[in-house]
Amino acid sequence: MNHETRPPRDLEELLHRARRLAGHRVAPPLLEDGEAGSLLHQKGKLGQLLERVLGATAGSAQRPDFPDLGVELKTIPVDASGKPRESTFVSSLSLVDADQAEWEVSAVRRKLQKVLWIPLVTQGDARVLGAPLLWQPTCEQEQVLRADFDDIMGMIAIGNVEGLTARVGRWLQARPKAAHGGVRTRAYGAREEPLSVLPRGFYLRASFTGALLEDPGTLAGA
Amino acid sequence: MNHETRPPRDLEELLHRARRLAGHRVAPPLLEDGEAGSLLHQKGKLGQLLERVLGATAGSAQRPDFPDLGVELKTIPVDASGKPRESTFVSSLSLVDADQAEWEVSAVRRKLQKVLWIPLVTQGDARVLGAPLLWQPTCEQEQVLRADFDDIMGMIAIGNVEGLTARVGRWLQARPKAAHGGVRTRAYGAREEPLSVLPRGFYLRASFTGALLEDPGTLAGA
DNA sequence: TAGGATCCAGCTTTGGATCCTT
DNA sequence: AAGGATCCAAAGCTGGATCCTA
């Protein structure tokens, strides 16, 4: 596993590769030589290994992990029953620039356009790759995500940053995203007074991703 | 405090009486002779004393506490910062009879038509009566309550009793209401099979009553 | 038994903090 | 620093159980 894998030709091939990984334990098998040991808890490393194995090219803010296919890769930690253990980070959120305020051109929409979800099942100490899910939001689903996005951006636009809690948004929420404890960003309150607040990011609620993984078809807005 | 108070002539008089009570400690002052001691934790008793002091006539399922004024009295326990400690019971909910299924004639609507809220502030050991609030739902507020009611009743009508959790409903929710542990009611599932479930009641969420007490004007639907 | 109110164990969510790589 | 992922204490909520009076 030391070589880079060739990018997948099409969605079929990508899905095929991901399916072959399902059921595999994650500890030693995916480790590189000389890297044995405590990979289990090294944050974010597994996702990068998966990218290599599946043939992703370096993803950036602008380009998805598989640029030719327009697919974003997301590993998602779930418990033995398949429920997500955490909310899922989507993108960071600038409280100052309002230039990303339009849903159509937002990073959130771009990243959620087409997602390959790979569950990582935690069972006691072991971690096992789950069945992958290639998901693309339905029209109805996108309406809900867009409404959440607008709610959140609306509160910032009004200057109501204090009211912007993790409770806003049905599927998409804004939560603190601190690079390291203590970094603060400037924002402006309703009466133009400057506020010092923690930077935030967009996250998908665990209840949403859980329903998605459980039954991608049934999950509807309304 | 051994005599019954005359019923209030009008809303003014009722509010006036309630306001005079605000700020008073609840322990000995409101006790009857020979009843001293552990009233603090005697459930429901305080509400009844308040009814007597304010001049309520016996309220029943059909009649409000102040029949002439159409006002229901509700004591609500709050912490030092004014936040409700519990959700508020509104009425019980029969899983069998569908006769109360229409909002217009429902017990829930009847009881929430006009409510005199009396906060009971818990501060360590002491309990103090708070500023009373006479509330009548705005049109907008009633729409939300009605939608919640329809959601809940709809699930029962479909036979989806298992899906009827305390999460359904934005302000109004259905929660278990057990007379004493172990009483079960008969209901029918989606395929007509009989289910044995705990009886339930309608409750107002603490987040709703909290917002109401804090700022009755601002609380809007949407 | 029905109306009304309180208590509480355990689960879930919030609001961060930490950690890693590029 | 930005992108990504995980960890965790405290607060809030759910699902009951308990307690009281008429």
| Contacts with A211 (C-beta within 8 Å, 6 or more apart), sequence order | A218, A219
Q: In what order do the strands lie in the sheet with B88-93?
A: B88-93, B200-204, B172-176
- List Cα–Cα distances, B116 to A166, B5, B56, B71, B220, in angstroms: 33, 17, 12, 7, 19
The predicted structure's pLDDT at residue A9: 93
Strand C nucleotides within a 7 Å radius of protein CB atoms: 1-8, 12-22
If you write DSSP's letter for every residue of B125-187 in order, what string do you get? TEEEE---EEE---HHHHHHHHHHHHHHHHHHHHT--TT--TTS-SSEEEEE--SSTT--EEE
Say what the pTM is: 0.85
- Which residue type occupies A153? M
Mode of pairing for the β-strands spanning A72-78 and A115-123:
parallel
Statement: residue A147 has pLDDT above 90: yes
Q: What is the pLDDT of residues A84-141, one digit of tens each?
A: 999 999 999 987 776 668 999 999 999 999 999 999 998 777 789 999 999 999 999 9
User: Can you tell me the mean pLDDT for B110-122?
Assistant: 94
What's the Å distance between residue B144 CA and nucleotide D19 C1'?
33
User: Can you tell me the mean pLDDT for A52-57?
Assistant: 89
Range 29-58, chain A: CB under 7 Å to any strand D atom: 41, 43-44, 46-47
Q: Is nucleic acid strand D under 7 Å from B182's C-beta? A: yes
What's the Å distance between residue A56 CA and nucleotide D13 C1'?
42
Q: Kindly state the tokens that stand for A202.
A: 């967009």
Q: Kindly state the tokens that stand for B50.
A: 């308040």
Give the confidence band of A77 by pLDDT, cuts at 50, 70, 90: very high
Q: Is nucleic acid strand C under 7 Å from B39's C-beta? A: no
Statement: residue B209 has pLDDT above 60: yes
The predicted structure's pLDDT at residue B198: 78
The predicted structure's pLDDT at residue B2: 46
Type and span of the H or E element at B92: strand B88-93
What's the Å distance between residue A2 CA and nucleotide C12 C1'?
41
Return the closest nucleotide (C1') to the Cα of B62. C3
Statement: residue B138 has pLDDT above 60: yes
The predicted structure's pLDDT at residue A32: 42
Considering only CA atoms, name the residue closest to the C1' of nucleotide C1.
B179
User: Can you tell me the mean pLDDT for B197-204?
Assistant: 89
d(CA B65, CA B63): 7
Share of chain A above pLDDT 90, in %: 53
Environment class of A221 (CB within 10 Å of its CB; exposed 0-12, middle 13-18, buried 19+): middle
Statement: residue A27 has pLDDT above 80: no
The predicted structure's pLDDT at residue A57: 83
Range 172-191, chain B: CB under 7 Å to any strand C atom: 177, 179, 183
Give the confidence band of A42 by pLDDT, cuts at 50, 70, 90: low
CB A144 within 8 A of CB A171: yes
Q: Is nucleic acid strand D under 7 Å from B160's C-beta? A: no
Distance of alpha carbon B39 from the chain centroid: 21
Give the confidence band of B43 by pLDDT, cuts at 50, 70, 90: low
Mean pLDDT estimate for chain B: 84
- Which residue type occupies A212? L
Q: Kindly state the tokens that stand for A132.
A: 């992958």
Nearest alpha carbon to residue A163 among A201, A203, A197? A197
Statement: residue B107 has pLDDT above 70: yes
What's the Å distance between residue A111 CA and nucleotide D10 C1'?
32
d(CA B43, CA B127): 13
CB A113 within 8 A of CB A136: yes
The predicted structure's pLDDT at residue A165: 94
